[in-house]
Amino acid sequence: MPRIRTALSERLGLKYPIVCAPMFIISNKEMIVAAAEAGILGSMPSLNLRTREEFRDALAWIRARTDKPFGINLTIKLTDPERLVHDLETCLEFKVPVIITSYGNPSELARRAHDAGAIVFHDVIHLKHALKAQESGADGIIGVSAGAGGHAGTTSPFVLYPYLRENLKVPVIAAGCIATGRQMASALSLGAELVYMGTRFIASTECGAEDAYKQRVINGSPEEILYTDAVSGIHANFLKDTVPGFEKQDANAAQKAIQSEGSGKKWKDIWSAGQGIALAKEVKPIGQIVEDIVREYVDARASLPALED
């Protein structure tokens, strides 16, 4: 398979400009190592490990298996401040090259990460927050479009990526609805330097999601995706029928149902995914998914209309 280079993928030492994006609860250390072996950047939220000690053990486990780059997601406002500082320090101790920040101002984390030689990506849904994050020292901005899995924006990927690219000095990482190499070709042509894919990797053998969830992802259609703030207070995309109370198509009813079910139900059985479920077809090991994406990317480029005089 040919190498696919962008300035940012070269800087990170990746074979392909692809990130296996962090996903609460379901991304894990096995995905990070498989992604590293496949030549892409794996990642997970530090909070996927319940305790500080488990997080440290996970980083040691990864480092014993690969010296390739990977990323850790620190969710600033969703993490207890002491745990946040601890997880950042543990990342720097294990020389995690990429810190992915979300939900908050990354300035302090960026300063400390830079002092230790790490680089920082920050995720946003609006230009306003992208400019602030750039000012705060983010080395790359993850633009999360409409239709993305997890917390998502409302701007079409067709507009968001080139819009951010035109207005930022730092590189743009395209997130949202990218499930195939054809879409990767589109995102790169729109000015992104990396593609950031979550939903497609739910349907990987290594992913910690239960089998029924993976089956929903490979058999789903975009009409099954619901964009709502009823689950966490921030708008995100979910498989509609896993959101309790949503038969009524009423956000208040859903919120009440979720609260009464308690936080256990809240995160374990409410399944987030993006509109990209339309294009994920098979559960496979990450290495094979990456090969498929690269093949599709090559085909997409070759299928563009030829230039004629």
Ligand X SMILES: Cc1cc2nc3c(=O)[nH]c(=O)nc-3n(C[C@H](O)[C@H](O)[C@H](O)COP(=O)(O)O)c2cc1C
User: Footprint of ligand X on this chain (CB under 6 A)?
Assistant: 21-24, 26, 45, 73, 75, 102, 123, 144, 148-150, 175-178, 196-199, 272-274, 276
C-alpha radius of gyration, the chain, whole number = 18
Compare residues 39 and 106 and give the one whose CB is closer to ligand X. Answer: 106
Please answer whether residues 191 and 141 qualify as being in contact, where contact means their C-beta atoms are separated by less than 8 angstroms: no
- The C-alpha atoms of residue 123 and residue 129 are separated, in whole angstroms, by 9
- Cα angle: 135, vertex 137, 141; to 5 degrees: 85
Please answer whether residues 24 and 47 qualify as being in contact, where contact means their C-beta atoms are separated by less than 8 angstroms: yes
CA 249 to chain centre: 28
User: Could you tell me the smallest distance in angstroms from the CB atom of residue 275 to ligand X?
Assistant: 7
Amino acid, res. 19? V
Q: Give the residue closest to ligand X by C-beta.
A: 198
User: Could you tell me the smallest distance in angstroms from the CB atom of residue 26 to ligand X?
Assistant: 6
Compare residues 240 and 256 and give the one whose CB is closer to ligand X. Answer: 240
User: Could you tell me the smallest distance in angstroms from the CB atom of residue 213 to ligand X?
Assistant: 9
Compare residues 100 and 168 and give the one whose CB is closer to ligand X. Answer: 100
Q: In the beta sheet, which residues pair with residue 228? A: 236
Please answer whether residues 126 and 164 qualify as being in contact, where contact means their C-beta atoms are separated by less than 8 angstroms: no
Compare residues 155 and 307 and give the one whose CB is closer to ligand X. Answer: 155
User: Could you tell me the smallest distance in angstroms from the CB atom of residue 309 to ligand X?
Assistant: 39
User: Could you tell me the smallest distance in angstroms from the CB atom of residue 272 to ligand X?
Assistant: 4
Compare residues 178 and 257 and give the one whose CB is closer to ligand X. Answer: 178
